[in-house]
Amino acid sequence: MKRLIFANALSLVGAVFLWLSCTTKNKGRVHFYQMLQCSVLVVSQLVFGRPSGAVAMGVACVRNGLKYLGIYNAPFTSVLLILTLALGVYFNTGGVLGLVPVLAGSFFTVAVYRARSLRTLKISMIVLLSSWVIYSALIYDFVGLVSNGVALVLNLLTIRRTGVGFSAFSEKK
């Protein structure tokens, strides 16, 4: 029980960074806050006993750091995608459930590279967060469930507040 409480406490720390990433209007800060969030959630996933989640968060931390530094490119995308899939599957101890963070991380690794605007990034985050809401519920990460759910709503509100629509993937900017 203490382990579950500690893992949820770590998720709460990660949630603060997640919420900051969802409310910022600066694309660079989105990646910075997500990098901090992922670094905390690596430990949280290990405490939950979910190594595939820890791998997904570790690779995501690197991805977000590279994006924040402005050096995330096609070769990095390919390497991180392969690492997410290979290590995530290798360290998966949770069956199909353990593949949720691997697939979500893989999607977002490509989406971050392809995103040319804050709107596209936010919509990609909505897809990612939807996956993590389901995963968090199934592993009893109650703080993660609530924080990802709140982040999902914050992203939706930010998109609405900035007056952008959902045709993000067809834009050229």
pLDDT reported for residue 26? 82
Angstrom CA distances, 156 to 109, 136, 162, 163, stand at: 21, 20, 10, 11
Angstrom CA distances, 104 to 1, 69, 153, 173, stand at: 28, 23, 18, 25
pLDDT reported for residue 163? 63
Phi, psi of 72 (to 5 degrees): -80, 120
pLDDT reported for residue 24? 81
Nearest by Cα to 105 from 79, 132, 123 = 132
Q: What's the rounded Cα separation, in Å, for the pair 90 and 92? A: 6
**Per-residue model confidence as pLDDT tens for the chain (173 residues):** 899 999 999 999 998 998 888 778 787 888 899 999 999 999 999 999 989 889 989 999 999 999 999 999 999 999 999 999 999 899 998 899 989 989 999 999 999 899 888 788 888 989 999 999 999 999 888 988 998 898 899 888 878 776 655 444 444 44
pTM score over 0.75: yes
How many Cα atoms are found within 13 Å in the side-chain-facing hemisphere of 137? Answer: 8
Answer for the pair 87, 99: CB distance below 8 angstroms, yes or no: no
User: Could you report how far apart the first and last alpha carbons of the chain are, in Å?
Assistant: 49
